[in-house]
Chains A and B, each alone.
Chain A
């Protein structure tokens, strides 16, 4: 296995049992308009170690949110299981409720995620009330959560309603609402996508600070590779319902192996890459997953003939490289990467 480089949580995170893990998770929906199934998430392994921040990146519609929701028990997997501290997640109402005290969601859209009729105080206290009823020190806890989320002085925000807050402030309220229960892990779905560039850094810094102060584990869903570079320890790249490349951020983002990851990196506006590889078309339909490697119809390596040179072109269209097993090192589910990367560091995958 490759050595993990430069990560803030070296060693223990890799060996300790994962706080949150997906093992062979698949989620299927009945296709809209009848007939067929949508394989939104297809056999995914993923782990978030203690105090680790993992970024899940991929194009729109590749199943990131669905996987995140499944990890929270909001969606029931049609195959595989979700593990919390090594224990499979139970789906009875009581088990789910207990679970949701320890793992929290920061939803995709901070505007819509706050009830317009609840004040900031109520929005933050909601989790406490659900799990503990009305506590005598409720106000103290709400105050603490708000100031942790960077809304200071907290009392000034108690009586505000969502429409009286800026986008960044709303996102902080949502984060405070998740923190108030002192969770062990959070799943943040696009925490900054709907925010301004200038507010973005603040929210990301907040996530890093919470990890440092509270040892919080986090799964951050995003389509923004810069975000992964800013805060994550490990990154998993998803394509059409499957994790196709995963590993430490430094390795995956500076030496990507999967052609899809390479394409994603090459189109960053300030990428130094001379010629961006712009994949044509939209991500394909999860209701019709192509046979063989699911990326092969759009794969620039296959199209350029490099795969044929390496002698794997026939396998790309016929043989599924299979799901990427959960492992701390850097791995890619690609026939081409497997044969080319093997040579310098044999036995990597």
Chain B
């Protein structure tokens, strides 16, 4: 900053600081080799999902005018084999990534948003309000996730949105608990008292101090939750609660089961969607762990 007499505006300062923080974060993230692997896998799947309309012709997924014969083992024309209608499993997996990723992200957004809101509020207002919120959270927490999701999915219309809501509503209590615990820890720090003594109100403290300090945890939790949301989506679709009109990994697995693929040894029908689910979940988990590590202040000490 030498030689520049001009006073930088606060906004420029904030930008500069954010850039610094980001580059620091990336430097620390890079140290986790598994995290880089996860990130690569993730980028691959996201690109795949975005490029799906270019890779798969609309007619290729039609049940009635399927391009190949049914139950074909892997061959150059259909590298992963075909399903009971004669559709290429590669096409199904590529197309299915769209639904799986969308549902995964949206459901995570819902549950993390809700969980963070409830968690911070319950942690900040220590009185009756906080206690009531936590009781509600506990109630949701002990509800068996799958049962609630199944119930919701049956009551509401069978669409992708329903699945998002079902997963979002059942997954938030864990986040809320986690965020509340972290909020309590942050609220006990002396800088909160300093902020109060400066005249800061509840909103100020929650937004300016608590939120930034729980955000790393939330971010790590988000990446982990995406993985479990994708699994949950597949589970619901596998149980036949998904939108029958769309192609998803869970739905494909469910079709395979119904078609008797398990007993008739048509392994290529089961393996690709299963592996895709596992790979995406693994990628997100690896990323989540690396984010957690990169944001851990202890690992930052070394500078």
Contact = CB atoms under 8 A, between A and B. Distances in A.
Physical contact A–B (CB less than 8 Å): yes
Interface of A: 69, 72, 74, 93, 96-97, 100-101, 104-105, 107-109, 112-119, 121, 125-127, 130-131, 134, 138-140, 143, 155-156, 158-159, 163, 174, 177-178, 181
A76 to B, nearest CB: 13
A159 B1 CA distance: 11
Interface of B: 1, 7-10, 13, 16-17, 20, 189-191, 193-201, 204, 208-209, 212-213, 297, 300
B195 A126 contact: yes
A143 B6 CA distance: 13
A107 B190 CA distance: 8
A92 to B, nearest CB: 12
B7 A139 contact: yes
B222 to A, nearest CB: 18
Contacts of B1: 155-156
Contact of A101 (B13, B195, B199): B199
Contact of A158 (B13, B191, B198): B13
A127 B190 contact: no
Contacts of A104: 197-198
A159 to B, nearest CB: 6
15 contacts: A93-B201, A107-B190, A109-B190, A113-B191, A113-B194, A114-B191, A116-B213, A121-B13, A130-B195, A139-B9, A155-B1, A155-B7, A155-B8, A159-B16, A159-B20
Contacts of A119: 13, 17
A232 to B, nearest CB: 21
B198 A112 contact: no
Contacts of B20: 159
B203 to A, nearest CB: 11
A126 B200 contact: yes
Given A74-B193, A109-B190, A97 B201 contact: yes
Contact of A112 (B190, B200, B300): B190
B194 A130 contact: no
Given A107-B190, A115-B213, A126-B208, A159 B13 contact: yes
The winner among A72, A101, A130 for most chain B CB atoms within 10 A is: A130
B191 A143 contact: no
B199 A100 contact: yes
B1 to A, nearest CB: 6
Contacts of A134: 10
A156 B9 CA distance: 14
Nearest to B300: A163
A113 B194 CA distance: 6
B198 A125 contact: no
A209 B199 CA distance: 25
Given A96-B199, A130-B199, A116 B297 contact: yes
Contact of B190 (A93, A113, A130, A155): A113
Given A116-B297, A159-B16, A107 B193 contact: yes
A107 B10 contact: no
Given A116-B297, A159-B13, A163-B300, 7 more contacts: A105-B194, A113-B190, A113-B191, A115-B212, A115-B213, A131-B199, A156-B1
Given A126-B200, A131-B199, A115 B191 contact: yes
A105 to B, nearest CB: 4
B215 to A, nearest CB: 9
B17 A130 contact: no
A95 to B, nearest CB: 11
Contacts of A117: 212-213
The winner among A108, A112, A134, A163 for most chain B CB atoms within 10 A is: A112
- Please list the 7 inter-chain residue pairs (A to B) with the smallest Cβ-Cβ separation, ordered nearest first: A105-B197, A100-B199, A112-B190, A127-B198, A97-B199, A115-B191, A113-B190
Contacts of B8: 139, 155, 158
B198 A126 contact: yes
B17 A159 contact: yes
A283 B111 CA distance: 50
A127 B209 contact: no
Nearest to A109: B190
Contacts of B194: 105, 107, 113-114, 174, 177
B10 A138 contact: yes
A130 B213 CA distance: 19
Contacts of A107: 190, 193-194, 197
A130 B10 contact: no
A134 B13 CA distance: 14
A14 B164 CA distance: 70
A155 B190 CA distance: 26
B10 A125 contact: yes
A203 B196 CA distance: 24
The winner among A72, A114, A115 for most chain B CB atoms within 10 A is: A115
Contacts of B196: 74
A177 B193 CA distance: 13
